[in-house]
Chain A
Amino acid sequence: MTATPDAAERVPEIGRARRRKEDARLLTGRTRWTDNLDPAGVLHVAFVRSPLAHGAIRSVDVSGALARPGVVAAFSGADLAAEQGSLPCAWPVTADIVLPDHPPMAVEEVRYVGEAVACVVARDRYAAADALEAVEVDYEPLPAVVDMAAALAEGAPLVHADKGTNRSFVWPFESGDIAAAVDGAEVVLRRRYRQQRLIPAAMEPRAVVCAPEGEGFTLWSSTQVPHILRVMLAMVTGIPEHLIRVVAPDVGGGFGSKLQVTAEEVLALLLARRLDRPVKWTESRTEGFQTTHHGRDQVQDVTIAADRDGRLRGLKVDLLADMGAYLMLITPGIPILGAFMFPGIYKMDAYAFSCTGVFTTKVPTDAYRGAGRPEATFAIERIMDELAAELGMDPLELRRRNWIRHEEFPYTGVGGLTYDSGDYERATARAVELFGYEELRAEQARRREAGDPVQLGIGISTYTEMCGLAPSRVLGELSYAAGGWEHASVRMLPTGKVEVVTGSTPHGQGHATAWSQIVADRLGVPFEDVRVLSGDTQVGPRGMDTYGSRSLVVGGTAVVRACERVVDKARRLAAHLLEADVGDVEFTDGAFAVRGTPEPSVGIQAVALAAFAAHDLPEGVEPSLDSDAAFDPDNFSFPHGTHLCAVEVDTETGRVSVRSYVAVDDVGKVVNPLIVEGQVHGGLAQGIAQALYEEAVHDAEGNLLTSTMADYLLPSSADLPDFVTDRTETPATGNPLGAKGVGEAGTIASTPAVVNAVVDALRPYGVADVEMPCKPERVWRALWDAAARNGGAR
């Protein structure tokens, strides 16, 4: 039962650019997307959706559809009214929040284009789609409510007439004496920024399959949150939780859009129960753009107060946040997640924040990569540049004068958060060096001097974000209905292989690889001997899923804790096998040995077999070698970094092109640098796309004009530059991995860097802002407006 440890020095897995375990199947088409699943006898569901942004439903007649070939059933919202319940909102941010009913299929009124009013169930997807036209719906049009300010005006048409208001909530926060800070300041700037509405647009459309199985139901969904979904499905439908199994098979991206409990998921479950057959629904892209929740959509009124030497005195933020027509899973919580981040990395005396949630007749908003924090970072980083311009100071210098210095950590800021660690000086110095900041400034001066029609602009973003969602205690204080812990099980099989069950469900983040690296180091087993299981509530019933850059920080730590417990258990058995005292047994590189005497020793994989055989277990040691652990962090983690962007702006056409982009991020200790770099790249692409390309546009009647990929400009490879990325490494102090999270950093940091660069290029022309996205037409108009203001044509 003893083994000689491998003499070769073990290379630590953590920190290694391991190729991903996930890739083999993804690269060969052996993937399990939800839409690939076809249980025997499956029926296809299609939805009749509202063509109006607002209307009363006078009647729905599905009988014509029932007569169509292949159609098995058809239902209106009224047909399911008794069982369909109301879609949940888990984050009622204030006690007096206006929280309307949200039936999965509309019964009395439709409130956005695309809202489901009836469904057809047929033997194949073509038959279901064909029969939709045979469903007759009679609407009485009601006025659309598209603009937030108009929605709040006296006498405005109401989205929910019975509520008497379009105001969902007002959420205030104040720290320090903001009136004194503003009154006493030498410089006060007021700016309005618009966070345009965005469409998350994960490449895999949403899909759900639900089958009656045994006494219960199995529901496969393209979701980020199978565990949350299971609880919510039980609460909404009344079907007991233990009879519902939710599986997230391979999921093709989420970015927050699949952190949701959707109408289609609830209805799939109800239809499978009604018809006692498996049912399936996959959205078309247009359907997805119209009905999968959108992101951002805020109007930000920002006031910053400072002294002439640049010292910040106070910051005041008034937000209007567009909720859309209903409050979905965490719709109202999104702007509140940003509330604490507006002060960014800066020291100041006072901060005041207020957010008003507003109903409009548009699809609801909810989480989109960054969720509240990109909006906050944008506002502070944009207005810091404006303040620098006002003071005639280099924007980097203004930031240096105000940021928290590395020796001041841990630091409790005016936003109420305690930042545990960071080194803004170092990240900035590295970014400046990689970017060639001074050289680019010199080139900019030359081109300004020469009156070059193509101007160079330099944009800065020095950001931090709160990640690792989240301490359950804090979530409770913020009225969120659940906790923020994560769970892991680590079980050693008799042959020494290891199965890890994680409650954090990946959809592209590479958990199978990174978790294997952690376990390989902690248990001293080969990377290849570890398999990671996730996304199935029957395999791993406990979990809080994947969002908010939480997986490694919270879920990875749970894996570490479970490994420690496995080692503790194995140590007792190893001591018994080595006939030694537990206290004398050391564990190194996968083997137990008696302290000071390296041989004989016993490997942990051999201990696993002994624990399985259970022929000779010491008192109190149970058969099999496995353990569970949960981790609930005490605090958030705070990645930070400095992003620098150079753009060229053609002042004749308004065309912007990104010339270079440098991102230096500090995400703490890194498990897999390849995965971390990939997360930064993808985040940058989405953040840059908000700055330059993407916008969900509605007309005055509330129709979504950008309802296809031809109209909504998702960036292609030709629209984005190469990125220069690097890292500094200041370990987080709140978890044993020292990790801070990386999923959202690129998105949070990059949008203001790009817009700052665009405005910087145009500042000599009198341009002080360009509304996002900075499309050629907007840039061109900004130039002409500035010229008109300055009295004369350009």
Chain B
Amino acid sequence: MGRVPRVHTTIDGVVYQDEVEPRLLLIHYLRDRLGKVGTPIGCDTSNCGACTVHVDGLSVKSCSMLAVQADGCAITTIEGLAPDGGHPVQRAFADCHALQCGYCTPGMVMAAVDLLRENPDPSEAEIREGLEGNLCRCTGYVNIVRAVRAAAEEMGAPGARIHPAPEAAVLPGGVPGAESAAHASAPAGGGTGR
């Protein structure tokens, strides 16, 4: 096999030095070698985005990169994004119910953080396009879009507000046909068809 490459990385603030097989994917290095299992795997064709992490600050699908390619890099995963899950994007995801099973969530959050770095004040359509590489089978994306918008505002973007449902929204009880507020956010227009 020849010489075994070494990788030297900083991951979520911890320094690692390891010998790895040249073909080892970064995601498998994280999960199988380091036990950093907060970042999951959803596909084998780099389509789903579940494995998204930041490499030197930019979002990367960690299944599409070899561990050796990360040599010398600083990597942030969902586990190290913010102490106690306190990043505005994480908080907005909880507030807007932007996750159900949560399997896409680590990748979705990391992709959204990178999206907001590039475009701190994205429109709904820009969010939808920006997150196109991250698939979610549970939410239908509406609440993910809301969450990213809400996080943008919390982080200082000036755009129009999209309000999450109020915490104590008590529904009128027992009245047949009682209506809650219709939840329509920004006008539709993201549907691009295929």
Using CB atoms and an 8 Å cutoff, list the residues of chain A in contact with chain B. 11-12, 15-20, 22-24, 26-31, 33, 35-36, 38, 124-126, 201-205, 250-253, 255, 284-286, 423, 426, 430, 434, 507-510, 655-661, 669-670, 673-675, 677-679, 681-686, 692-693, 708-710, 713-714, 716-731, 746, 775-776
Among A16, A716, A717, A724: residue with most chain B CB under 10 A:
A717
With A11-B170, A717-B145, A724-B183 in contact, is A684–B102 under 8 Å at CB? no
**What residue of chain A has the Cβ atom nearest to residue B84's Cβ?**
A28
Q: In the complex, A741→B169 CA distance in Å? A: 20
A675 adjacent to B97 (CB under 8 Å)? yes
Chain A residues near B190 (CB, 8 Å)? 717-718, 720-722
With A430-B179, A508-B101 as given contacts, are A681 and B45 in contact (CB-CB < 8 Å)?
A: no
Q: Are B170 and A16 in contact (CB under 8 A)?
A: yes
Q: Would you call B171 and A250 a contact (CB within 8 A)?
A: no
Which residues from B are CB-within-8-Å of A726? 179-180, 182-183
Classify chain B's interface size. 35 or more
Inter-subunit contact B184/A724 (CB<8 Å):
yes
Q: Check A722 against B187 for contact (C-beta < 8 Å).
A: yes
Residues of B within 8 A of A657 (CB): 191-193
**B94 at the A interface (CB under 8 A):** yes
B140 touches A685 (CB 8 A): yes
Asked if A708 meets B43 with Cβ closer than 8 Å, knowing A28-B90, A434-B182, A720-B191, the reply is yes
Cβ B185 vs Cβ A681 within 8 A? no
The CB with the most chain B CB atoms within 10 A, among A19, A20, A682, is that of A682
- Bound: A717/B166 CA distance, A: 25
- Is B179 a contact partner of A727 (Cβ separation < 8 A)? yes
Q: How far is the CA of A679 from the CA of B139 in the complex (A)?
A: 7
A731 near B139 with CB under 8 A, answer no
Main secondary structure of the interface of B (DSSP, over half): loop
Contact B174 A731 (CB under 8 A): yes
Q: A203-B101, A682-B100 are in contact. Are A656 and B193 (CB under 8 A)?
A: yes
Given contact pairs A657-B191, A669-B173, A720 touches B141 in the complex (Cβ within 8 A): yes
- Are the C-beta atoms of B102 and A202 separated by less than 8 Å? no
Q: B90 contacts which chain A residues (CB < 8 A)?
A: 27-28
B4 within 8 A of A: no
Which residues of B have CB within 8 Å of A693?
194
* Docked complex Cα distance between A648 and B27 (Å): 41
- Name the contact of A28 in the complex, choosing from B85, B97, B178 (C-beta under 8 A): B85
Q: Per a CB cutoff under 8 Å, which of A31, A426, A714, A718 touches B128?
A: A718
How far apart are the CA atoms of A359 and B118 in the complex, in Å?
52
Bound Cα distance A28, B36 (Å)? 12
Interchain CA distance A33-B142 in the complex, whole Å: 25
Return 5 A-B CB contacts under 8 Å, by A number.
A202-B103, A203-B135, A204-B42, A686-B137, A722-B189
**What are the interface flags for B119-146 relative to A under an 8 Å C-beta threshold, 1 for contact and 0 otherwise?**
0000010011101111111111111110
A213–B44 Cα distance when bound, in Å, is: 33
Is B99 an interface residue, CB under 8 A from the partner? yes
**Pair B38/A29 contact, Cβ less than 8 Å:** yes
Cβ contact within 8 Å between B41 and A205: yes
B residues neighboring A (CB under 8 Å): 21, 23-24, 28, 31-32, 35-45, 47-48, 50, 77-79, 81, 84-85, 90, 93-95, 97, 99-106, 109, 124, 127-129, 131-145, 165-180, 182-194
A720→B192 CA distance, assembly (Å): 7
- Whether A714 contacts B105 in the complex (CB less than 8 A), given A11-B170, A205-B42, A678-B97, comes out as no
User: Could you say which residues of chain B place their CB within 8 Å of the CB of A661?
Assistant: 188
Cα-based distance from A413 to B169 in the complex (angstroms): 36
Contact B194 A719 (CB under 8 A): yes
| Least distance between A575 CB and chain B CB atoms (Å) | 30
Distance from A225 Cβ to chain B, minimum over Cβ atoms (Å): 16
Chain B min CB distance to A170 (Å) = 35
A35 CB contacts on chain B under 8 angstroms: 31, 37, 40-41
A203 partner residues in chain B, CB cutoff 8 A: 42, 48, 50, 101, 103-104, 135-138
Q: With A and B bound together, what is the CA distance between A284 and B140 in angstroms?
A: 24
Judge whether A285 and B45 touch: CB under 8 Å: yes
- Besides A12-B173, A23-B94, 5 new A-B residue pairs in contact (Cβ under 8 A), listed by A number: A19-B94, A27-B102, A507-B101, A681-B143, A721-B189
Chain B min CB distance to A298 (Å): 22
Whether A285 and B193, one on each chain, are in contact in the complex, defined by CB atoms closer than 8 angstroms, is no
Which chain A positions have C-beta within 8 A of B165?
17, 673-674, 677
Q: Which of A31, A659, A729 has a CB less than 8 Å from the CB of B188? A: A659
Assess the A729–B177 pair: CB atoms within 8 A.
yes
Chain A residues whose CB sits within 8 angstroms of the CB of B174 once the complex forms: 669, 731
On chain A, the residues within 8 Å of B144 by CB distance are 717
**Considering the chains assembled together, what is the distance between the CA atoms of A682 and B168 in angstroms?**
23
Top-10 shortest CB links A-B: A29-B38, A252-B103, A26-B102, A508-B101, A685-B140, A681-B140, A709-B47, A508-B100, A36-B37, A29-B78
Residue numbers in B under 8 Å from A426 (CB-CB): 176-177
In the bound assembly, the distance between CA atoms of A91 and B187 in angstroms comes to: 46
Chain B positions within 8 Å of A746 at CB level? 140
Question: How far is B135's CA from A10's CA once the two chains are assembled, in angstroms?
Answer: 40
Q: Which of A250, A284, A775 contacts B102 (CB 8 A)?
A: A250
A709 and B37 alpha carbons, distance in the complex (Å): 23
* Cross-interface CB contact of B42 among A29, A285, A660, A673, cutoff 8 Å: A285
Q: Could you say which residues of chain A place their CB within 8 Å of the CB of B140?
A: 681-685, 720, 723, 746
Considering the chains assembled together, what is the distance between the CA atoms of A682 and B140 in angstroms? 4
Interface-centre pick from B84, B106, B140 (highest chain A CB count, 10 A): B140
Given contacts A204-B42, A718-B128, A722-B190, contact A16 B93 (CB under 8 A): no
Instruction: Considering the complex, give the chain A residue whose CB is closest to the CB of B85.
Output: A28
Alpha-carbon gap, A692 to B194, bound state (A)? 8
Given known contacts A681-B142, A714-B135, A658 and B37 CB-to-CB distance under 8 angstroms: no
* Chain B positions within 8 Å of A18 at CB level: 167
Contacts of A15 in B (CB 8 A): 169-171, 173
Q: Which residues of B contact A509 (CB under 8 A)?
A: 100
Of chain B, the residue at the smallest CB distance from A656 is: B193
State the CA gap A28–B77 with chains docked (Å).
Answer: 9
A677-B129 contact given A423-B177, A714-B135, A719-B191, CB 8 Å threshold: no
Contact of B45 among A656, A692, A709, A725 (CB under 8 A): A709
Structural contact, A253 and B100, CB atoms closer than 8 A = yes
Q: Do B103 and A253 touch across chains, with their CB atoms under 8 A apart?
A: yes
Q: By the criterion CB–CB under 8 Å, are B194 and A201 in contact?
A: no
Give A629 Cβ to nearest chain B Cβ, in Å.
Answer: 24
Nearest chain A residue, comparing its CB with the CB of B83: A28
| Smallest CB gap from B100: residue in A | A508
Residue in A284, A682, A722 whose CB lies within 8 Å of B185: A722
Q: Least Cβ distance of B21 to chain A in Å?
A: 7
B143 close to A728 (CB less than 8 A): no
Q: Which residues on A sit within 8 Å (CB–CB) of B183?
A: 677, 724-726
* Complex Cα gap A286–B44 (Å): 7
Q: Which of B94, B128, B176 has the most CB of A within 10 A?
A: B176
Contacting pair A673 B180 (CB below 8 A): yes
**Residues of chain A contacted by B45 (CB below 8 angstroms):** 285-286, 708-710
Residues of A within 8 A of B136 (CB): 203, 717
Contact of B43 among A285, A682, A719, A730 (CB under 8 A): A285
Q: Which of A20, A205, A721 contacts B94 (CB under 8 A)?
A: A20
- Chain A residue with Cβ nearest B138: A682
B contact residues around A125 at 8 Å (CB) = 28, 32
CB A527 to nearest CB in B, in angstroms, measures 12
Known: A725-B183, A776-B194. A16 touches B168 (CB 8 A): yes
**Contact (Cβ within 8 A) B48 A709:** yes
